């Protein structure tokens, strides 16, 4: 019974995901679904990315949070169009919620939409939203065992940002083996693109933003 209900939810989600895909295709928009644990730095990365790409790529954001519009407020300061969704307890965004949000964005004036999913390394990875690709974020403060312990998102992501690399300067005070993370992630996903970034200092943003630019031209 449980399995049947679970399948029905996923099927209903898939039909909205397909609608979203069609809307993105019609408007020539590249959509990313950004997924990570709470606090890995998704919003900070987005604010800096919007700044770096200003005048080059037009980016719209959909913010997913359980409560508050704090993240949308941060994005709004960049002047990028943003819509906040509150799931009120839900641990991931659904394609139906995203479908409503898309309609509030100026689609004819956007090249890329990034959906910042609810902070959670597990549930969001299995709910398709109609995105072209998933982006996983892992911050060095979370520990280097995460791709091995939470494989789903790293197996499905087109790219992974290893964020807060500025903290590696703390040396022995922080235990994070980047090589281990990369090895574990590549074991799950041979093609995953990996970027080392600090949304605080801007390190690594040149490569990450060039990659986004290249993809949006295709
Ligand atoms: N040192 C350091 N701190 C960072 C970096 N990126 C983000 N932070 C800090 O990490 C905290 C969380 O950042 P957010 O951008 O809110 O993280 P988030 O993933 O959007 O969080 P949720 O939306 O709650 O899931 C904030 O205090 C940021 O200032 C970084 O590269 N280095
Ligand atoms: Mg956030």
Query: Any idea what the CATH number is for the domain that residue 40 is in?
Result: 3.40.50.300
Which residue is associated with the tokens 């990570």? 36
Give kind and range of the element (H or E) at residue 26: helix 2-26
| Rg (the chain; Cα; Å) | 17
Tens of pLDDT, residues 92-137:
999 999 999 999 999 999 999 999 999 999 999 999 999 999 999 9
**159 CA distance to ligand 2 centroid (A)?**
18
**For ligand 1, what atom is nearest to the CA of residue 47?**
15
Residue 166 in contact with ligand 1 by CB distance below 6 A: yes
Q: DSSP 3-state assignment of 178?
A: helix
Which residue has tokens 């997913």? 64
Residue 71 near ligand 1, beta carbon < 6 Å: yes
Q: How many domains does the chain have?
A: 1
Q: Among 4-8, 113-117, 140-144, 171-175, whose mean pLDDT is lowest?
A: 4-8
pLDDT score of 218: 74
Report how far apart, in Å, the C-alpha atoms of 132 and of each of 17, 31, 109, 176 are.
11, 5, 18, 30
Does the pLDDT at position 173 exceed 80? no
C-beta separation of 75 from 82 below 8 A: yes
* CA 200 to ligand 1 centroid distance, Å: 8
Angle 183-189-59 (CA atoms, 0-180°, nearest 5)?
110
According to DSSP, the residues that pair with 74 across neighbouring strands are: none
The average pLDDT across 55-78 equals 98
Q: Does 29 score more than 90 pLDDT?
A: yes
**What's residue 7's pLDDT?**
73
Contact 140, 176 (CB under 8 A): yes
DSSP characters for 202-217?
-TTHHHHHHHHHHHHH
CB of 64 sitting under 6 A from ligand 1: no
Report pTM.
0.96
Q: What residues make up the domain containing 112?
A: 2-217
Is 74 a pocket residue for ligand 1 (Cβ < 6 Å)? no
Question: How confident is the model at residue 8, as a pLDDT?
Answer: 73
pLDDT digits (tens, 9 = 90+) for 134-169: 999 999 999 999 999 999 999 999 999 999 999 998
11 Cα–ligand 1 center, Å: 33
Ligand 1 contact, 36 CB (< 6 A): yes
What's the pLDDT at 145?
97
Evaluate whether 62 touches 113 at the Cβ level (below 8 Å): yes
Average pLDDT over residues 7-30: 92
Q: Atom 12 of ligand 1 has which residue's CA nearest to it?
A: 39
Give the residue, by CA position, lying nearest to ligand 1 atom 7. Answer: 41
């Amino acid at each position: 019974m449980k399995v049947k209900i679970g399948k029905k939810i996923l099927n209903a989600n898939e039909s909205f995901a397909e609608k979203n895909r069609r809307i993105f295709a019609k408007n020539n928009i590249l959509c990313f679904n950004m997924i990570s644990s709470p606090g890995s730095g998704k919003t900070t990365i987005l604010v800096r990315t919007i700044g770096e790409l200003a005048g080059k790529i037009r980016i719209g954001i959909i913010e997913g949070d359980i409560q508050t519009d704090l993240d949308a407020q941060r994005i709004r300061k960049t002047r990028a169009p943003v819509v906040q969704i509150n799931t009120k307890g839900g641990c991931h965004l659904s394609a139906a919620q995203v479908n409503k949000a898309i309609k509030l964005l100026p689609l004819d004036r956007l090249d890329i939409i990034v959906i910042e999913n609810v902070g959670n390394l597990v549930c969001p990875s299995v709910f398709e939203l109609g995105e072209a690709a998933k982006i996983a974020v892992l911050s060095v403060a979370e520990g280097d065992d995460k791709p091995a312990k939470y494989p789903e998102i790293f197996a499905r992501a087109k790219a992974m940002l290893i964020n807060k690399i500025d903290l590696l300067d703390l040396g022995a005070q922080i235990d994070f083996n980047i090589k281990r993370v990369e090895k574990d992630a590549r074991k799950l996903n041979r093609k995953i693109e990996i970027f080392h970034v600090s949304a605080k200092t801007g390190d690594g943003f040149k490569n990450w933003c060039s990659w986004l630019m290249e993809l949006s031209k295709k």
